Structure 1
């Protein structure tokens, strides 16, 4: 069995390693256009901020490790065309320019995503950078040494983590976003407002509800970012506007969402037989809505890559879907979320209610007893949990994984109220805060007199 794998980061590495172990006789060839594989891009801000000093720890595999598994890795090889009907592909060696043609029995598409780069005026100026891979991170670190005013465009996870890292390194930092609040895809306003206050308290300028119009510069280097409302000085600009799936190679050959994300079934197979896909190149089944959605997260990628390998020869393990569970630490705040926010649910036309608790996470007689804010979003008619968000100075983020399981199993907020959680004063109260938020949502019981009235 000849297996061709295109792209080797999160999903690709998981698919390759597991395929090699499950099918030791398979002939596996990896095509990777970069000069490295398996880079943990989620750690870029930690690397830029100096929290991680040795970048080698951000790689969890290498061509040599794959070779030990019998895998052939063609680095700096860009696949230029795929013919899924005839099961062939063409690739170019980016070092020599030599082109080659290869065949396959099974194709695994793990080409990931690429940053969205709008065609702003002045986009070609030097020191306007992207933040996606290892080479990007090294360029950011190098150029940041000579920059004082740094502008980050895009207030998602990566953008927010980067401005924190730069501020901690003594830079003057501005965060620009067209939306009126940061992290708007992940958190509701009561959480983002507190995070915005924290950023501003540390001297970070927030330029929200501002759309970038153009960049201006001198001597070929960027000097200002011009928005529809203001002008911001900049020695360096990092674009973190978002990502789009990198799937042009299969356009017109497999079913996709409008944005180009590949649709796969529960066994990670595309609409074309023997063509599998995983990771940021794919749309995934989103349990809160029961529909496919584009949610590029490393956790989704490694799960999907592992499932590709297990389903490569025959359907074996179904994908359970995702809640888009994620977390972030900004200064002293530990934040996590899963499923739909209230904002997203209402925008989707769902009839939802919420329950929010703000209380000490453990007994007040303990030496410290930080507060936790936990919000649960649930469907009004069915009481089914759709999402949750949590924030605390103490790290309680693992609790959001529990609610992720609740969403996956279509549990109700009433069931959450009475789930069996342990009690120990070091960790919680007799009523765990997960129970408490469910208890608050319980409807009052009618008395016997009310029933017979």
Structure 2
């Protein structure tokens, strides 16, 4: 059996390791257009801020490790074309400039995603950078040494983390986003309002609700970011607008979402039974809504990559879907979320309610304690939990993993009220903070 894997970041690395272990007699080849594998781009801001000392520490595998498993690693090889009907790939060796053809019995597409690059005036100016791979990380770190005024465009997780890192370096930082709040996709205003105050207090300019229209420059380098409202001085700009799936190689050959994300079934099969896909190139089952959605996360990617190997020859282990669970640390704030925000649910036309709990996370007789904010979003009819967010100076982020399981298992607020959680004064109160939203809903019904 001949297996070809195209792309080798998170999903590709996980698929490769598991395929090599499960099918030791198979001929396995990996084509990767970079010279590295398994780079954790989510750690770039940690590297920029000096928490991670070297960008090289953000790799968790290597071509050599995969080669040692018996895999044919073709680094700096770009797949130019795939013919699914003939099971052929046309490949370019980027070192020798040679072009050749390979074939497969089973094809695994783990081609990932690429940053969205908007069509803006003068975007080709120097010092307008992307933030995705190892090369980007090295460039950002090097150019940040000499920059004074840095603008980050996009107030998602990566953008916010970079803003904090640049501020730690003593830079003058501007954050621009076309939404009127930071982290709009992940959190509701109960959390983001407080975080925005923390950013502003540290001198970060929040240019929210503004759309970038172009750039101005001198001597080929950026000097100004222009929005529909204002202009901002910048000698370094980092684009963190979002990502789109890298799936053009199979355009018209397998089913995709309108944005190009591969549609896969619960066994990671595309509409072509001999082509599997995993990771940021795919749509995933989003459990809060029950529909396929594009949610590029490393956690989704590694699970899907592992499942490709287990299901390659026959359906064996189902993908359970995702809640889009994620977390971020911003200064001394520990924040995590899962599922739908109330804002997103209402925008989808869902009839939902929410409960916001503000409570000290452990007993007041302890030497210290911190206030925690927990928000849970649920369907009005049936009270099924569909989303949650937690925010505190204490690290309570693991509680969101618990609520992620609740969403996956379609639990209700009534059930959440009485779930069995331990009590220990070092960590919590007799009524765990996760019980409190369910109890509040129950008490509200009794008062009616």
- Residues 1:374 and 2:385 aligned together: no
1:302 aligns with 2:309: no
Structure 1 partner of 2:218: 218
Q: How many residues align?
A: 448
**What are the Cα deviations for residues 63-91 of structure 1, in whole angstroms up to 9, with x where unaligned?**
11001100011111000000111111011
Q: Deviations over 1:224-273 (max 9, x none)?
A: 00111001000100000110001000110000000000000000000011
Alpha-carbon distance in 2 for matches of 1:34, 1:444? 57
**SS across alignment from 2:142:** helix
1:434 and 2:401 equivalent?
no
- Alpha-carbon shift at residue 96 of structure 1 (Å): 1.6
Query: Residue 233 of structure 1 corresponds to which residue in structure 2?
Result: 233
Local SS of the residue matching 1:193: helix
User: SS in structure 1 opposite 2:438?
Assistant: helix
Aligned pairs for 1:26-425 within 5 A: 26-425=26-425
Alpha-carbon deviation of 1:57? 2.3
Instruction: For residue 445 of structure 1, report the CA deviation from its aligned partner.
Output: 6.3
SS of 2:422's partner is coil
1:106 & 1:343 partners in 2: Cα distance?
A: 42
Closer/same/farther in 2, CA of residues 300 and 445 from structure 1, 3 Å limit? closer
Q: Whole-Å Cα distance in 1 between the matches of residues 383 and 140 of structure 2?
A: 47
Q: Is the 8 A contact 2:225 2:232 kept in 1?
A: yes
Q: Structure 1: how far apart are the matches of 2:445 and 2:159?
A: 47
Give structure 1 stretches of 5+ with no counterpart.
none
What residue is the counterpart of 2:9 in the other structure? 9
Question: How far off is 1:298 after superposition?
Answer: 0.3
> Secondary structure at the residue paired with 1:401?
helix
Per-residue deviation, 1:441: 1.3
- Give the whole-Å Cα distance in 2 for the aligned partners of 1:2 and 1:308: 15
Long gaps (5+) in structure 2: none
Superposition RMSD in Å: 1.0
3-state SS of paired residue (2:434)? helix
Aligned-pair CA distance for 1:446: 6.0
For the residues of structure 2 that align with 1:103 and 1:438, how far apart are their CA atoms?
Answer: 55
Runs of 4+ in 1 over 3 A off after TM superposition: 443-447
TM-score by length of 2: 0.99
8 A Cα contact 2:7 2:33, kept in partner:
yes
**In 1, Cα distance between the equivalents of 2:271 and 2:102?**
22
TM-score (norm. length: structure 1):
0.98
